[in-house]
Amino acid sequence: MERNPRNILVSAIACSPVLGSEDGVGWNWSLELSKLGNSVTVLTRKRFRTDIEDYLKKEPNPGLSFHYIDLLPGIDYTGSPSLLSYMYIYVWQLLAFFKAKKLVSKASFDLVHHVTFAGIRLPSFLGYLGLPFVFGPVGGGEEVPAQLIKTFPTKARLKENLRRLSNKLVRYDPLMWLTMRSATVLGIATKDCLSLIPHAYHNKVVISSTIGVNACLSEYNQRNNTDTIVLYAGRFLHWKGMHIGLKAFAVAAKKNPAMRLLMVGDGPAAEHWRAIASSSDIEDFVTWVSWAKKAELDELYKTSDLFMFPSFHDSGGMVVLEAALQGLPTLCLDVGGPGMMVNESTGVKVAINGLGEDELVDALANSLLALTANKERLAHLGRSAKSWSSSQGWGARVRNFYFSCGPILAKSAPMPIDRHLKIS
């Protein structure tokens, strides 16, 4: 059914057509909303201006326009979590509100949507523009269980405990309280975020992943490895869980020596993880590769047999989608975004409720052994993962989210939701 296009104001402090992570989320949600026939106006930072304008020269899009906001030239503290970065984000959100207020006074908008940063601990003030306000989906409510934080090195353990404290304070943060109170829809990336939202606002909640892929049609690549190749790819961060993954691999490799582990990436946990490989006597089984280009990583996905990603609190888990797109099944923990995405047809997820380190190592090792002992099952899971990934495109993600938002928006909007958004 043809529906009237509407004017949507998007706030995306991170928004780039050439970068991944949060920057890619901001860009793809804005782009897909415009592809649905809506007129989309995006508020973002000047640092993305060149990338955006270069893209639009090659791919003109009359339904997509941008306004660039910054504090002062050369000031940008959003590279990594810190007090300065949080201060920058808060001030930027205030500037975005005042810019949005000017835009709303000059043009008619039907909806305002905060897309990035997609964090449950970061407020937005756009709910006070007098328009239906969609906040999210946001993540960040996922946590490492207390008994497993003990397995982290001291500095990482401190960071995780501070993060847990920060999450507990979300319900009492006056700025987050105002954000949740003013929102028409509260989008959250995983069910873990629900506990951070006051019960009175649960009727506003829609659960949806923030991430998608640019799906492409291609044949499944049959693996012909003599040994079973297990791949990890991503940042080497302690909360990514590969200190547990390496220990599990060591246990499994003693029973099935025809396994190899490929570790792709780098980061603060590298030294710790290498030490575990050494002390577990699996150095000859593990190959370490620093950051790979996307084309190189895609080739590794295509030629590996299993993707292992035991992350404790990824709200998204883009690498799981990327692996599935190349026909690679995933072994993960049943938490966060990966736990929501992976099912019995596309991989295996291990529950961690109440498990200590040794128990979790054994559970992962048993799953590794069961999977690597049956190449036919791995191939079947890989084909299913590839088929599933075709339904995880950015366009489908945005359409499905707004479809779920429909009943909530309809209650607050002055006209039925199907006249506010073109969702086809």
327 in the same domain as 256: yes
Q: Could you say which DSSP state residue 119 is in?
A: B
Q: Are residues 252 and 346 in the same domain?
A: yes
CATH (domain of 292): 3.40.50.2000
pLDDT at 84: 79
Same domain for 234 and 88, yes or no, is no
In terms of domains, do 241 and 320 share one? yes
Same domain, 182 and 297: no
Asked, for residue 417, whether it belongs to a domain, the answer is no
Has residue 419 been placed in a domain? no
Indicate the number of domains in the chain: 2
Q: Do 250 and 184 belong to one domain?
A: no
Two tokens, residue 309: 């990603």
For residues 127 and 183, is the Cβ–Cβ distance under 8 A? yes
In a domain, 55, yes or no: yes
Residues 234 and 347 in one domain: yes
Q: Dmax over Cα atoms in the chain, in whole Å? A: 69
pLDDT for res 81: 61
Give which of 351, 305, 302 is closest to 325, Cα–Cα: 302
My answer on whether 91 and 195 are in the same domain is yes
Least Cα distance to 64 among 45, 102, 37 occurs for: 37
CB-based contacts of 307, cutoff 8 Å, min separation 6 = 230, 231, 232, 233, 301, 319, 320, 323, 328, 329, 330, 331, 347
Q: What is the pTM of this model?
A: 0.90
Give average pLDDT by consecutive 10-residue segment, the chain, 424 residues. 71 93 94 96 96 97 96 66 80 96 95 94 95 96 92 93 92 93 96 93 96 79 88 96 98 96 96 97 96 87 96 91 95 94 95 94 98 92 94 94 93 48 40
Q: What is the pLDDT of residues 305-358, one digit of tens each?
A: 999 999 999 988 899 999 999 999 999 999 999 999 999 999 999 999 889 999
| 307 found inside a domain | yes
No. of H helices and E strands in the chain?
14, 13
Tell me whether residue 220 is in a domain. no
The CA-atom distances, in angstroms, between 293 and each of 240, 289, 311, 317, 320 are 20, 11, 22, 18, 17
Q: Are residues 112 and 208 in the same domain?
A: yes
Task: Classify residue 82: in a domain, yes or no.
Answer: yes
Distance CA 243, CA 263 (A): 12
Are residues 138 and 72 located together in one domain of the fold?
yes
> In 107-136, where does DSSP find H-type helix?
none
Range of the domain at 49: 7-212+394-412
Residues 102 and 187 in one domain: yes
The pLDDT, as a whole number, for residue 20 is 84
Domain assignment present for 421 = no
Pair 25, 100 in one domain? yes
Chain-centroid distance, C-alpha 281: 34
* Domain-embedded: residue 221: no
Contact between 252 and 227 under an 8 Å Cβ cutoff? The reply is no
